[in-house]
Structure 1
């Protein structure tokens, strides 16, 4: 989503968190969206990227002139810069999943302190669409208090919004990464698979169902890698499915994302248990499907926020015929999916405009 240019107040600062591994293109996608919301809001941008390498900055498109803070050793510097910033600073937390299990209490206390400091300085705190994972107290209590103190607090699923007891639902920020219809459904000739390497390998019935679906629809099977740690699993799946394996190898992350977007434009169906594999696929006009043993609620809940449901199925205990019927039914959902994705993109554009107006009003 391109941000609208506007006059920048002199001596102003925006702080944005952009941590993440260069080997996870989904994390890069949503951190890039976070950065786009922050750009153009102040005359100085300060980005905390943790231990991320230079490749990560290229993936996100961090502009020249950004003050970049790296490693946990720079956290004290980050806090000092926030505390000593000019009036009306902006603090933008990163989009994505927020782990609130035991052991995260101190981190959440720091985030609450940052929020309080910015509010006391007459600034604006923005929390882009996020999802809560493994909630436990005191982490959840601290996180909810910080969200309530933020002018903008967005949740990508209803359960997270209920846990936080505040804020509002919004599409995952990845849905704002650019809608491309690509080829018409009847000209798409691939079925793409990309599964997590850390979860159980699908059984023979799953393999049969995917192969039969591809054959009936005259689709070639391709396995791709959107997260480096999944590369071995993609190779195994290509062997099992008789498909083409496309490794990541030594390709630059920016080039790898461009290649995957090109692949999704030609795909009719994309099967994955990685949420942002399915988000990127949907943006490119492919039909997203989650068909794996014991899927979590994460993907289904986030897509439910944009009104797209019924595309996820537990493969455990299902026979090949049932899974094939399920997959074939998904093939007819192209128009519905595209409508939902376009609407999500529009909603995110409207929210970004609201964020910018909130910042402008706070500085008026």
Structure 2
């Protein structure tokens, strides 16, 4: 028999990174931030475990996940397997939660309790927990208390707006992860000939003063108006606005989501201004060198607060009260901000690149 000292050591079990990537295939903004979040997780372990919930095949294509890239858990029935793999993972696992909004309404306490347990489990196994740039929505107790405890137990608790950081009382204020999606040169400024509009279908439609101001501004600047769709449920609103504004309506139709995103980024490449009340429409527009403008009745603070984090203020206006002259003046003033917008977007991209490097370094350090 071989002596104990001569026995071969068992090969180490593969390291694991867990990342949650749920979302609707019909929302390109959700796909955008999940894809950038996935980029932070790739290559950090021998084995990547991805939970996508009930998402269809199109969602995997949007994320850029190919067969063999990861252990895919693709239904809610796989949650027990996710928890089992997390509990039995080799020491020092990494866990990456979802970027975006965190709903903390009444009824979400049980979910937050599960997330807290996952966080504690990973920390007890000397692993790393990453909460990418997020925003708190509708905080209520006890969900907020549980979420705050989980944030405090995480090495990275990142918030895309100052209000969420204040509510959580722990973490860092950083740009929305969408700003990491890659800047594009787009067309030269003088060759940009469009004003692009993309508004939510579930909010009140802007009134006559808004229509008069937008059409008048576009005519004065020599811009064509085009309405586009970045979220499928907004398609009817885009059609209505094109008719009201005398612009061109570009439907999503049967185009697959990957092709639709590519087309939209081309449209933003050729726009001077993009008007929207969707955060990631405006982030993609800014990445393409267009001027992002929120111009709707009674806007929420979501866009203004998220852009304030990267140093861009006064790009949102409540269109409920000012007449056409006030709206036109606001839009005209935005045209002076090209250099500032591009500089701030570049700084946000650099900041996010540094945070990704910090995340990777933390995971490496935990495994030494």
- Within the alignment, does 1:37 sit opposite 2:60 as a pair? no
Moved >4 Å (runs of 4+): none
CA contact (8 A) 2:295 2:317 kept: yes
Equivalent-residue separation in structure 2 for 1:235 and 1:102 (angstroms): 36
Q: Which runs of 5+ in 1 are unaligned?
A: 1-8
State the TM-score, normalized to the length of structure 1. 0.97
Report what 1:16 is aligned to.
19
Equivalent-residue separation in structure 1 for 2:318 and 2:13 (angstroms): 54
Equivalent-residue separation in structure 1 for 2:76 and 2:141 (angstroms): 24
Report what 2:114 is aligned to.
110
Mapping of residues 178-193 of structure 1, within 5 Å: 178-193=182-197
Equivalent-residue separation in structure 2 for 1:355 and 1:306 (angstroms): 20
What secondary structure, in the 3-state scheme, does the structure 2 residue paired with 1:47 have?
Answer: strand
Q: Which runs of 5+ in 2 are unaligned?
A: 1-11
Equivalent-residue separation in structure 2 for 1:302 and 1:79 (angstroms): 33
Report what 1:231 is aligned to.
235
Report what 1:355 is aligned to.
359
- Within the alignment, does 1:97 sit opposite 2:97 as a pair? no
Q: Which has the larger radius of gyration?
A: 2
Report what 2:263 is aligned to.
259
Report what 1:281 is aligned to.
285
Mapping of residues 207-246 of structure 1, within 5 Å: 207-246=211-250
Mapping of residues 29-68 of structure 1, within 5 Å: 29-65=32-68, 66-68=70-72
Equivalent-residue separation in structure 1 for 2:241 and 2:37 (angstroms): 33
Q: CA deviation at 1:57?
A: 0.4
CA contact (8 A) 1:289 1:311 kept: yes
- Within the alignment, does 1:81 sit opposite 2:94 as a pair? no
- CA deviations over 1:259-300 (Å, ceiling 9, x no partner): 000000000000000000000000000000000000000000
Q: CA deviation at 1:77?
A: 1.1
Give the root-mean-square deviation of aligned CA atoms: 0.8
Equivalent-residue separation in structure 2 for 1:63 and 1:143 (angstroms): 32
Report what 2:75 is aligned to.
71
Report what 1:27 is aligned to.
30
Mapping of residues 106-255 of structure 1, within 5 Å: 106-255=110-259
Equivalent-residue separation in structure 1 for 2:189 and 2:178 (angstroms): 23
Q: CA deviation at 1:63?
A: 3.6
- CA deviations over 1:146-194 (Å, ceiling 9, x no partner): 0000001100000000111100001000000001131222211000000
CA contact (8 A) 2:13 2:90 kept: no
Equivalent-residue separation in structure 1 for 2:71 and 2:90 (angstroms): 16
Report what 2:311 is aligned to.
307
Aligned length: 356
Equivalent-residue separation in structure 2 for 1:62 and 1:123 (angstroms): 24
Q: CA deviation at 1:10?
A: 6.0
Equivalent-residue separation in structure 1 for 2:190 and 2:139 (angstroms): 44
What secondary structure, in the 3-state scheme, does the structure 1 residue paired with 2:310 have?
Answer: coil
What secondary structure, in the 3-state scheme, does the structure 2 residue paired with 1:346 have?
Answer: helix
Q: CA deviation at 1:64?
A: 2.9
Equivalent-residue separation in structure 2 for 1:15 and 1:116 (angstroms): 14
CA contact (8 A) 1:10 1:43 kept: no
Equivalent-residue separation in structure 2 for 1:303 and 1:247 (angstroms): 28
